[in-house]
Structure 1
Amino acid sequence: MLYYLVLYVRLALYKTHKKDISQTHPVTVIICARDEAANLAKNLPGSLLQQYRTTHEIIVVNDNSFDDSKYVLEELQRQFRQLNIVELKQEAKLIPGKKFPLSIGIKAAKYEIVLLTDADCVPASELWIDKMQQTFDDDTEIVLGYGAFHKTKGLLNKLVRWETFHTALQYFSYALAGIPYMGVGRNLSYKKTIFFRHKGFSAHNHIPSGDDDLFINMAATKTNTKINIDKDAFTLSAPVKTWSQWKKQKQRHYSTGKYYKPKHKFLLGAYSFSQFVFYPLLAASLIFYCWQLALIVFGVRFLIQAIVLYPAMKKLNEQDLYPAFLFFDIWMFFYYLIFAASIVKKPKQSWK
């Protein structure tokens, strides 16, 4: 209940402050792709057709693809002058994952502000670049955006979107509390200056994943990080279609959590533990202790969640999940059981 009342309520109550003076900055959008010909043909035009009046470029790092990515990109480059292609033809054997191609893309960027997304993502609007860059000012070096998933039918889609919302509820709220700890590579922006000041991903090059959350965990501070939850600044991705794909995806993400700063590991771990033990202890209290008191505790917790979750969901356009939030909350007990092994399991070395 303390996490909801002290942390998560910050996102629920958050209001975007409009700037008195709107300034536009040159922006480099960077997309890393490996064997993503179909996704590039489908999604890349969404980045290329942005309504942005200031100088910008789109860099696609084609990382050793064996499919038709090269030809798809060359055809799009004929139509859009702002598209620049970086072809990688050699593997970085000692740097597994996406970090090497992303580093190459950042080094090739012409402009100070880089905006990151993935090949399977499409901007939610033609104002994505404009809205994200508006968050920057002289003190801001990192902007955390929301990478949503398309809404489709089925239980898996709802569970994927709930987990995505729940993660965003955490990292946005922590950032608003002055203790930012992660961002998602589907929608993330920072300045090249901070990337080079921290020597890129050198501190965790040996870890296949973490190009987004581990870098932000290392570089983000109370004063240099802001969030952007404007719906025009979202990106949208196609969710996984099978349970096994989702499990692999989440295992890769959770394998990086053990490298977070101690204070973040403690806060996140304590919350997960409290969430995990709540329902078993509730059941035990109902059976072996005082069922009236147990129901009062459950009711107060439920009410606090209901009050905080709806405005937070509405801000992230996930309010259709609200009627079933109790089901999703109970589901988290099983979620932690399924993915607990990911904390100690060695992650896959390839990013694709």
Structure 2
Amino acid sequence: MDLLNYWEEAVFILFCITTLIQICYFTGIFSRLAFYTSKPKLQNQQQPVSVVICARDEAGNIIKNLPGVLVQQYRTTHEVILVNHNSQDDTKYLIDELKKTFKHLNPVELTQEAKMIAGKKFPLSMGIKSAKYETLLLTDADCVPASEYWIEKMQDGYDEGIEIVLGYGAYHKAKGLLNKIIRFETFHSALQYFSYALAGMPYMGVGRNLSYKRDVFLRNKGFSSINKIPGGDDDLFINQVANKNNTAIVLDPEAHTLSQPKKTWGDWLNQKYRHYTTAKYYRGKHKFLLLIYSATQFLVLPLAIVAAIFFNWWIVLSIVVVKWIVQAFVYYKSMKKLNEADLFPLFLFFDFWMCLHYLLFLPALFKKPKKSWN
């Protein structure tokens, strides 16, 4: 009997510890995004910008999305570099037609594969080396800017000492549970990497909406240290070169990009698996902090259920409600900033969903990355 009582108390104590850790993450780190307000700049100095996009058999996406990049309202000189990486579809012919109208479109044709360089890094490197200007703005062929002021708003994130600007790559809103889950997980990732950046610990960015100085790329010898890893041209590169002094974020909805989310659960699961395979290569401190958050997020609700059954249900429920209040407050304010407020009514569902999420994607941490990037 004494052993049973000890076990019940141990579960309750473990539940309290995991809940406290979660509350600390939300109040100490994630609240930085919730309460963030960009500082007004006394003087906006727009610099020439090179937008870099890589495409491989993306003719359909080029027709839909590239015009949104080409018609940007940006008063200063800029160019759009489209790297056509060995496409077998009509990409080249579409680029030739668009080039007739948009003189600032500068295509780079690649007809070979790079040995020993996996994924998207080779075409992206060629695009960056072809850039005329120091400020680079990266996105994907399946992305479209949320407004015609995307370049201007992202460039406005630069200030003295800033070399990297992190943007938000959102997904189009649509009906259905899958769409909401995809958008929530995108928001949840952004909540973390934006908040860590604001806390002086930037650890990743997303290639759908990312800007950095060309000198950062050249100074760090491009992707040479991660060439053998298929992914990581965005998150791993930023993990290596970003620090508390050289990184800023831009949250303005006009600075977002939008992508079409996957339509089936299978396609989405494969996409997520590919993204998670690079997390094992992050810096040690980032892996530790992300692991503690993920582990406690996964454990807190199962421990709450066990503690409620075997210890005292109303005490457990009271603690969970406190956690949910803190979490809801941070989620609501952050979702409003990222134009995802329609997801807030489902935040309790998403809290339970994350337990299943970790079960689904834990194997990705041990899976060998896929070599192709498209």
TM-score, normalising length: structure 2:
0.94
- Deviation, structure 1 residue 94: 1.0
Where do 1:222-241 residues align within 5 Å? 222-241=244-263
Name 1:176's counterpart in structure 2.
198
Q: Does 1:33 align with 2:30?
A: no
Name 2:107's counterpart in structure 1.
85
CA deviation vs aligned residue, 1:45-95 (integer Å, no higher than 9, x gap): 000000001000000000010000000111101110000000000011311
Name 2:43's counterpart in structure 1.
21
What is the alpha-carbon distance in structure 1 between the residues aligned to residue 157 and residue 195 of structure 2? 17
Name 2:236's counterpart in structure 1.
214
Name 1:288's counterpart in structure 2.
310
Alignment RMSD? 0.6
Q: Does 1:66 align with 2:88?
A: yes
CA deviation vs aligned residue, 1:23-66 (integer Å, no higher than 9, x gap): 11000000000000010011000000000010000000000100
- Deviation, structure 1 residue 279: 1.2
Q: Does 1:124 align with 2:146?
A: yes
CA deviation vs aligned residue, 1:127-163 (integer Å, no higher than 9, x gap): 0001111111230000000000000000000000000
Name 2:6's counterpart in structure 1.
none
Name 1:267's counterpart in structure 2.
289
Report the residue type matching 1:25 in the other structure.
Answer: Q
What is the alpha-carbon distance in structure 1 between the residues aligned to residue 173 and residue 157 of structure 2? 27
What is the alpha-carbon distance in structure 1 between the residues aligned to residue 269 and residue 118 of structure 2? 20
- SS of the aligned residue for 2:127 comes to helix
Name 2:3's counterpart in structure 1.
none
Report the residue type matching 1:301 in the other structure.
Answer: K
Name 1:337's counterpart in structure 2.
359
Name 1:302's counterpart in structure 2.
324
Name 1:46's counterpart in structure 2.
68
Name 1:250's counterpart in structure 2.
272
What is the alpha-carbon distance in structure 2 between the residues aligned to residue 163 and residue 307 of structure 1? 18
**Structure possessing the higher radius of gyration over alpha carbons:** 2
Pick aligned residue for 1:186 from 180, 185, 208: 208
- Deviation, structure 1 residue 290: 1.1
Q: Which runs of 5+ in 2 are unaligned?
A: 1-22
TM-score, normalising length: structure 1:
0.99
- SS of the aligned residue for 1:152 comes to coil
